[in-house]
Amino acid sequence: MIAFLTDWSLKSYYVGVAKAVMKRINPSVDIIDITHEIKPFDVRMAAHVLLRASKDFPEGTIFVSVVDYGVGTSRKAICMKTKNEQFFVGPDNGIFTYVALNYGVKQVRELDNRSLHYGSSYTFHGRDIFSSVAAHLSKGVRFEDIGSVLPNYIVLPVKAAQIQASILTGEIVYFDGFGNIETNIPASFLEKAGWDIDDIVLLNDKFELTYVRTYGDVEKGHELVHVDSSGFLEIAINQGCAEEFFKLSQGQQITLRRKKV
């Protein structure tokens, strides 16, 4: 199985021809689109989305992840094999930071076996290298044969969420298609913070949110915070757009704490 993630959108033909190359090499491979709507050039967003999505894919899945502002430059093309037996194919620009941290890395290889490349374009490695090598892997080519061992790889600076004196500190990692605010604060912090359902929570000591299980637990237009399906805290407005309402920025640090009564 190949899982496919890019910032290409569906306005151009890029996704279609990359999948055509995968099918040309391995007609029987299943290809699942994670998303092609990553914000253009936003490697950090892609890294967070990739981690959250990968949790639901089985062992042996090959992830083709292409957000590649450095295509054609000296940045390397790689495949990372993680300790949970998944494979991540893409540019060496930090896009695999969070899967590496969460799953552990068995080995990384540079995709320098040119016999497994489809073409030689300087600007479309998504088709000519990443899709092609992934398809060959799915067809049974050994991981050891795709290229040479790479001892080092690029990682993004990581801002880990923290909890201190019942104050949760984290960052906004991206906004989803509904304008919900996705954070890097794990649900495991809530027990330490002592939150209960229907508590009022302060965002940056400014906005009041209701801690609930799901959107419909508050009235339409009401601000809320809950644990999303990936196990992180999400800030939302029932049937509204939190991104527009709160006017916060991706990468911005936030704090959450229960309001004292």
CA 232, CA 243: separation in Å to the nearest integer?
Answer: 17
SS3 content of the chain, % helix, strand, coil (to 5): 25, 30, 45
Q: What is the mean pLDDT of residues 95-107?
A: 98
- For residue 199, give the 3-state DSSP assignment: coil
CA R_g for the chain: 20
What is the pLDDT of the chain when averaged over all its residues?
97
Q: What is the mean pLDDT of residues 111-135?
A: 97
Looking at the domain that runs over 2-145, which CATH code has it been given?
3.40.50.10790
| CATH for 162-258 (3.60.15.10, 3.40.50.620, 3.30.70.141, 2.40.30.90) | 2.40.30.90
pTM for this one?
0.94
Q: What is the mean pLDDT of residues 6-16?
A: 97
For 106-145, the DSSP string reads EEEEE---GGG-S---SS-HIIIIIIHHHHHHHHT--GGG
pLDDT score recorded for residue 227 = 97
Taking only the tens place, the pLDDT of each residue in 148-165 is 999 999 999 998 999 998
Q: What is the mean pLDDT of residues 226-248?
A: 97
Same fold for the pair 2-145 and 162-258: no
Instruction: Tell me the domain boundaries of the chain.
Output: 2-145, 162-258
Asked if 116 and 136 touch (Cβ cutoff 8 Å), the reply is yes
Query: Which structure tokens are listed for 53?
Result: 């999505």
Asked if 43 and 67 touch (Cβ cutoff 8 Å), the reply is yes
